């Protein structure tokens, strides 16, 4: 699949404000700073579309980007950003869980994890919550440019091993680097398949 057209549509504070149409959402979630916004820019080939920052907590709203007038890419706030106040953190949690569990537009979710890190509790907890609620999702490893190919493969294997303790069937897993454009075709093809369903 190729993306020809990508437009910012709106930012929503709550799910009652998301676009009122029947186009489906493919959404990106993960810890703050993992590279959600960068990945959206890489996939669409538009560097400034989603706001990227070295400071965690940049994306605070549900951002809809309309793709080829056919579906939406959705940039979500990061979870687990320790430096916001507890109440703010709970707001993030609510906006995220409301969207993921209750928004009818939400068609498929990608959970992003930093390929350099050992499986993090907060990600594993989030993934478990998705499983319990039957949310369709896949995992995208980000920042693969920071590791050698061998290290990256090991990191993915380590993740698979941990998830296998809980899951009979593993979710789809894709490797990406927004810096280098790695994984672009695979991710877009995966999205195309999700949209066929």
Give me the residues that bind ligand GTP (CB under 6 A), please. Answer: 32-38, 52-54, 56-59, 77-78, 142-143, 145-146, 177-179
Decide which of Mg ion, ligand GTP, none touches 53; Cβ closer than 5 to 8 Å per partner kind. Answer: ligand GTP
Decide which of ligand GTP, Mg ion, none touches 145; Cβ closer than 5 to 8 Å per partner kind. Answer: ligand GTP
What mask, x for binding Mg ion by CB under 5 A, covers residues 44 to 63?
Answer: --------------xx----
DSSP assignment of 169-188: SPPPEEE-BTTTTBTHHHHH
- Determine the Cα–Cα distance for residues 192 and 163; give it in Å rounded to an integer: 25
- Determine the Cα–Cα distance for residues 147 and 115; give it in Å rounded to an integer: 8
| Count of residues near Mg ion by CB under 5 A | 4
Decide which of Mg ion, ligand GTP, none touches 56; Cβ closer than 5 to 8 Å per partner kind. Answer: ligand GTP
- Determine the Cα–Cα distance for residues 96 and 135; give it in Å rounded to an integer: 13
For tokens 């994890």, the residue is 113
Residue whose CB is less far from ligand GTP, 77 or 105 = 77
| Helix extents (H) in 103-169 | 121-133, 149-164
Query: Least distance (Å) from ligand GTP to the CB of residue 40?
Result: 8
Q: List the Cα angle 90/50/42 in 5-degree steps.
A: 120
Which residues contact Mg ion by CB under 5 A?
A: 36-37, 58-59
């Amino acid at each position: 699949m190729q993306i020809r057209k990508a437009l910012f549509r709106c930012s929503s504070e709550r799910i009652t404000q998301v676009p009122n149409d029947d186009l489906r959402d493919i959404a990106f979630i993960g810890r703050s700073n993992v590279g959600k916004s960068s990945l959206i820019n890489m996939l669409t080939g538009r560097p400034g579309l989603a706001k990227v920052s070295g400071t965690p907590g940049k994306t605070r709203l549900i951002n809809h980007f309309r793709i080829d007038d056919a579906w939406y890419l959705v940039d979500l706030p990061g979870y687990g950003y320790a430096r916001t106040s507890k109440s703010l953190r709970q707001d993030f949690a609510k906006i995220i869980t409301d969207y993921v569990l209750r928004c009818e537009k939400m068609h498929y979710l990608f959970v992003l994890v930093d390929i350099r890190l050992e499986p993090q509790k907060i990600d594993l907890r989030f993934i478990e919550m998705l499983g319990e609620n039957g949310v369709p999702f896949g995992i995208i490893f980000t920042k693969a440019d920071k590791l050698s190919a061998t290290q990256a493969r090991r990191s993915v294997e380590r993740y698979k091993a941990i998830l296998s303790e809980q899951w009979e069937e593993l979710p789809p897993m894709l490797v990406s680097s927004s810096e280098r454009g790695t994984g672009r075709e695979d991710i877009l093809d995966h999205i195309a398949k999700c949209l066929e369903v």
